[in-house]
Amino acid sequence: MKQKPSAGIEEILEQLSPLERKIIPFLSSPLKTIEKKAGLDTTSVLRALRFLEAKGLVKLETSTETIIELGTNGIYYKKHHLPERVVISVLEAHNHLSLEEAQRLAKLSENEFKVSLGVLKSKALVSLSNGKLSLIANKEEIIRKTFEEQLIDALPLEKDNLSPELLFALDNLKKRKDIIEIKTRTIPSFTITELGKKVAGSELKVDLLEEVTPEIIKNWTRSKKFRKYDLQTAVPRIQGGKQHFVNQSIVYARKIWTDLGFKEMKGTMVDTAFWVFDALFTPQDHPAREMQDTFFLKDMHGQVIENKIAALVKQAHETGIPGSTGWGISWDEKEATRVLLRTHTTSLSARTLAKLKSEDLPAKYFAIGKAFRNETVDWNHGFEFYQTEGIVIDEKAHFRHLLGYLQEFYKKMGFKKIKFVPSFFSYTEPSVEIQVFHPEKKIWLELGGAGIFRPEVTAPLFGKPIPVLAWGQGFDRIIMDYHDIKDLRKMYANDLKDLREKRFWLR
């Protein structure tokens, strides 16, 4: 029989949410039973328990357990057997085989066969003598020494439930790639407080109103009561959907450029060497064009380049334009048609210049996109990265305009101290390097290069040498600095907790 609630319990009963009222009758049951009886999922039950904990009715506790599961290779080996078992089966049918014969009959890769031999020899199950591989153990000994198979067949298991033999097998399998996965799982539980027992034994109010509706306002009577809310009670934090912080950064930077009057350039990430290198006056024997820096698509060539532009680019490379001697080396059109992943977004600037006419000037364009280089991935390097590109085409443009655009962009990105250092880039002259001051590290960071396109670039593409302000900035470094990311790889680790806590661009 339900007891009549006291004044304090009465107030608690009037604060209970629908979720809490659903689970209170079943608080003496385990979590899984509560889910089934209340008709709720695990997340809803845990949310209700947190509400009850805030009211002092239950006490939540957690414990952890280590679960051993099959990895990618483990799933495959469970179906097709471990390589060492395959070798044992071959030797049981054809003992005293050469290594080549054993590998052929086992149908294993060279690496799998070598691993299986090492495992079997370490367990003294096989011997290798005079170039012949022999099985030297009986069936009982084989079973006794192959607990790895038993472990794979039994997974998933909780680590604390493993026998000493299976723990030994686990240590062996941990040394091999993707056979097992070890995961830690949090297990929630709870206990009911004395106050909780009193509330659970009281009659629950189920006629409390949860929201104001037009019908309630129209037919209001004083006999109806709203549920009370404790404004001091902590509630679960709601994580609304939002863009990935990298995409947020791109949107923010794109708005800066468009606010400055720039139009966006877009294009494919796969292009020909002509637009990535040749049109930008990069010689065909330049080291950057080799395989160690560039991802070429094997045996692929692009479409034939427009003859007029190709002829002017050829001239610029071989003999130069008026006032230039060029590179003095033969220019190969087939080399220019090779297909590759663009190593910078400046190929978009080259294509844009080739499409412009005199009546389109002055013009300003920007791009934000991925570029690719054959780099070893580490904390500071990646084989793909974001770059923000820009060009200003204006016969009245000069170097101070270039510095002004760059300074404005970096100030809007939140950098207070900016300086420009003379530098060298193959297709701009004069050239400058942009550095920003890091207030915490107390150092100047290099974030990109800029300059004015050389006449050897603009004359073939536009028909005459005109001033073109140009820059290409490493955008990933800007993102890393803003979000205080020390390792480039963490930008794409996609840890859900970390993504939720990333701030917006509000500098």
Do both 362 and 484 map to the same domain?
Answer: yes
As given in the structure block, the two tokens for residue 292 are 């160690």
Are 496 and 369 in a shared domain?
yes
Q: Which amino acid is at 83?
A: P
The DSSP-derived string for 15-57 is: T--HHHHHHGGGTTS-HHHHHHHHT--HHHHHHHHHHHHHTTS
H or E element in which residue 476 lies: helix 475-482
Mean pLDDT computed over 198-227: 76
State whether 362 and 474 are in the same domain. Answer: yes
At residue 80, the pLDDT reads: 85
pLDDT over 80 at 209, yes or no: no
Please give the share of the chain, as a percent, with pLDDT higher than 90: 25
pLDDT digits (tens, 9 = 90+) for 14-33: 788 888 888 988 888 888 89
In a domain, residue 154? The reply is: yes
pLDDT above 80 for 264: yes
Mean pLDDT of 204-228: 75
Domain around 363: 247-268+343-501
pTM: 0.60
**1 pLDDT exceeds 50?**
no
Are both 251 and 170 inside the same structural domain? no
Question: Do residues 490 and 385 both lie within one domain?
Answer: yes
Task: Report the DSSP pairing between strands 338-341 and 468-474.
Answer: unpaired
The pLDDT score that the predictor gives to residue 454 is 92
Domain presence at residue 222: no
Q: Among the three residues 184, 202, 225, which one is the final residue of a domain in this structure?
A: 184
Q: Is residue 434 part of a domain?
A: yes
Tell me what the mean pLDDT of segment 369-394 comes to: 86
Q: What are phi and psi of 184, to 5 degrees?
A: -105, 130
> Please, what is the Cα angle at 346 between 343 and 350, to 5 degrees?
125
Domain count for the chain: 2
Q: Which of 158, 184, 210 is the last residue of a domain?
A: 184
**Residue 7: predicted pLDDT:** 47
C-alpha torsion angle, residues 310, 471, 338, 322 (rounded to 10): 30
* Structural element, H or E, at residue 165: helix 164-174
Burial of 428 (0-12, 13-18, 19+ CB in 10 A): buried
Summarised one tens digit per residue, pLDDT across range 437-494 is 877 778 888 888 999 999 999 999 988 888 999 998 888 888 888 888 888 888 887 8
Check residue 349 and give left, alpha or beta (phi > 0: left; psi -120 to 50: alpha): alpha
Rounded Cα distance between 432 and 402, Å, is 10
Q: What's the confidence (pLDDT) of residue 470?
A: 94
144 vs 468: CA distance, rounded Å:
77
Structural tokens at position 191: 């206990």
Provide the CATH number for the domain around residue 497: 3.30.930.10
How far is it, in rounded angstroms, from Cα 297 to Cα 277? 15
Strands 263-264 and 363-372, by their bridges, are parallel
Instruction: Describe the crossing of helices 455-462 and 346-355 by its angle, rounded to 10 degrees.
Output: 40
Of the listed ranges 222-231, 274-283, 309-318, 412-421, the least confidently predicted one is 222-231
pLDDT at 41 over 60: yes
Question: Higher-confidence residue: 213 or 222?
Answer: 213
Q: Which of 34-38, 127-131, 381-385 has the highest mean pLDDT?
A: 34-38
Percent of the chain scored above 70 by pLDDT? Answer: 95
Q: Which pLDDT score, from 0 to 100, does residue 204 have? A: 73
Domain boundary among 184, 209, 231: 184
